[in-house]
Amino acid sequence: MMKTPFRVLSRIAVSGLIASAMTLSGLAAANAASTKAPKQITIGTLYAGSGSFADSSLPQYDGLKFWVNQMNAKGGVYVKAYHKKIPLKLIAYNDQSSSTTAATQYNQLITQNKVNLLVSDFGSVLTSVAVPIAQEHKMLLIDPTGTGGSFFTPNNPYIALTSLPTSGVWPTSLADYLIKNHYKRVALIYDQNDFDQSQATTLLAKLKNAKITPVYNNSVPTSTSNYSVLIHSIMATNPDAVIEFGYNTNDIPFLQSVSASGAHFKMLFTIFPGQLLSNIEQNVGVSGLAGTYTYPTPPLLVYNKVNYGLGMNAFTKEFQKSTHSAPNFLDVAGYNAGLVIQKTLENTTGLGQLQLRKALYTFSGKMFTLDGLFKLSPTGAQIGETLPVAQLIKSGNGLKVKVVYSK
């Protein structure tokens, strides 16, 4: 039997490999061609059209809608996986500020509407029910403002916070300011929810490290709307700094009670004047806010040097033209969540939920928007933004913001 030379066998083997590679390449091309781009990218979200969270939720929803309308006016969002622009469809349900209703509707968006992307409603209370639902269904949750620290864990890759740092980080600058300015008699009152409790935990720990023990430390239900008795209890401890951590529906009656009591503190701090200044001002008045402190956020902080999306001034102009109202922070937060979705789609290799998550990290730490630096921790928490401390100063018939401390 005649032996085939080794050199000939090698050529045959190489030829076979080339043929196989060409076949596989052809199959891959055929598969790619057969995977049609969807007619639209569906985004599911909730908003609170009524109830205690409506004042914050509706503007966040307006900001997201503004972004969707902007994209669709340009033919949609470019999706890298399909090398083309695809229109957006926003599916939204009104949860009426009820976490029970929200849980049902988040499930509906995932299981019935089968949305491509899920965006949570405003804040930690309404986001808290979305986190386990999204994780159970292996659905990436785009979270604009649900900042509760317990949402972000190593075993949950299905969440990304877009427009605020986790609330446990917020009081870092506030604590430093208190310590630096030698406030020794600090009174703290906070709501019993993830958002406010995590802030209280951080503040108390930093004060303890500085050997400062609050003269008053009390938690109250998030539903609290009458602070008269509480204010007198705080006054009895003779504090020089009073810190109240709550939502805007808490800040308003708290500040009203302070004004009604005639109490005057060297420092008075609340959260939501920095996010919803016009709303708080309408309810409390300029005199009730003048001299108080808060965390300022855009548009009180103005970022125009951005590398993605509209800068603050351009956004304000376009938003007012579109909605006939001036934007507040929650409008910015909703729009910024849209920018994160846009950049994700521009970088994703597919619409699989973990593919989308992987795409988020391709621009984490590199994208600077009107809301600041977008940067995620390994658990999906926002760590690029910091919140300074500002004082509200009376200016003419209104208020101006003066940043007094920044990290």
Give the residue extent of every domain in the chain.
41-165+301-374, 171-300+388-405
41-165+301-374 maps to which CATH number? 3.40.50.2300
Assessment of whether the complete model's pTM goes beyond 0.85: yes
Residue 212 binned pLDDT confidence (cut-offs 50, 70, 90): very high
Q: 155: which DSSP letter?
A: T
Supply the pLDDT for residue 111: 98
State the Cα angle at 284 between 281 and 286, rounded to 5°: 55
What is the rounded CA–CA span in Å between residue 125 and residue 133?
14
141 touches 158 (CB < 8 A): yes
For residues 122 and 26, the model is more confident at 122
Q: What is the mean pLDDT of residues 84-103?
A: 98
What is the rounded CA–CA span in Å between residue 149 and residue 165?
9
Residue 219 binned pLDDT confidence (cut-offs 50, 70, 90): very high
Average of per-residue pLDDT values in the chain: 92
What is the rounded CA–CA span in Å between residue 186 and residue 245?
13
What is the rounded CA–CA span in Å between residue 236 and residue 185?
12
Supply the pLDDT for residue 406: 92
What's the token pair of residue 381? 């928490």
What's the token pair of residue 197? 């409790």
Integer angstrom CA distances of residue 183 from 6, 207, 240:
87, 10, 7
| Cβ-Cβ contacts under 8 Å for 2 (sequence gap 6 or more) | none
Q: What is the mean pLDDT of residues 114-132?
A: 97
Please tell me the number of Cα atoms within 13 Å of 117 on its side-chain side. 28
Per residue in 140-168, pLDDT (tens digit) is: 999 999 999 899 999 999 999 999 999 99
Q: What is the mean pLDDT of residues 225-239?
A: 97
CATH 3.80.10.10 fits 171-300+388-405, yes or no: no
Helix, strand, or coil (residue 399): strand
| Phi, psi for 292 (deg, rounded to 5) | -80, 170
DSSP code string of 126-149: HHHTHHHHHHHTT--EEESS---G
What is the rounded CA–CA span in Å between residue 316 and residue 327?
6
Residue 23 binned pLDDT confidence (cut-offs 50, 70, 90): very low
Per residue in 376-386, pLDDT (tens digit) is: 999 999 999 88
Helix, strand, or coil (residue 382): strand
Residue 117 pairs in a beta bridge with 43
What is the rounded CA–CA span in Å between residue 391 and residue 16?
75
Supply the pLDDT for residue 9: 36
315 touches 260 (CB < 8 A): no
Distance of CA 391 to the CA centre of its chain: 23
Burial class (CB in 10 A: 0-12, 13-18, 19+), 282: exposed
Share of the chain above pLDDT 90, in %: 90
Integer angstrom CA distances of residue 73 from 67, 88, 349:
10, 10, 24
Supply the pLDDT for residue 407: 82
Please tell me the number of Cα atoms within 13 Å of 214 on its side-chain side. 22
Please tell me the number of Cα atoms within 13 Å of 43 on its side-chain side. 28
Q: H helices of 348-403, where?
A: 353-363
374 touches 342 (CB < 8 A): no
- Is residue 34 pLDDT above 70, yes or no? no
| Cβ-Cβ contacts under 8 Å for 395 (sequence gap 6 or more) | none
Supply the pLDDT for residue 36: 87
309 touches 367 (CB < 8 A): no
